[in-house]
Structure 1
Amino acid sequence: MTSEPSYPEDSPVGTPPADGQEADGPSAAKGEQPRRTKHLMTGAAIGIGSAALVAALLYANRSKRGDKSGDG
């Protein structure tokens, strides 16, 4: 068994694009990296904001839960 992986012949691996053409794929575009970073930061902000809202709702409803159990 060889240590080299085998690839399909119709998709060359490791060869740069010829004649100034860009490689296929979403991350190959020139302006794609800042856009990806922006989307990543937006997703993180949404996740943190959602967690903050859940925490606020749980904190606000703490007193209501105590009344049902009969604790003063």
Structure 2
Amino acid sequence: MSKSNKSLSGAAIAAGAAIGSAAIAAGLLYVTKRRKGADGKDGEPRQLPAIPSGEDPQTD
């Protein structure tokens, strides 16, 4: 291997590491944003919609 091939492989390793770390950072941001919920309120449980059971609602 010549000297130019070694420097090229080193640059490729550095570029791969930069791309990999950027992908990890983007993934963490996505998970954090998704965990907050659509309304952006952090820590508050979201109420699920009622599940229809096929029975008539009970009214007085």
TM over 0.5, shorter chain: yes
Quote the residue 1:38 is aligned against.
11
TM-score, normalized by length of structure 1? Answer: 0.50
In structure 1, stretches of 5+ residues that fail to align are 1-27
TM-score, normalized by length of structure 2? Answer: 0.59
Report % sequence identity: 19
Give the number of aligned pairs: 42
1:53 counterpart = 2:26? yes
C-alpha distance in 2 between matches for 1:44 and 1:30:
22
C-alpha distance in 2 between matches for 1:30 and 1:63:
51
C-alpha distance in 1 between matches for 2:20 and 2:28:
12
Larger relative contact order, structure 1 or 2 (CA cutoff 8 Å, min sep 6): 2
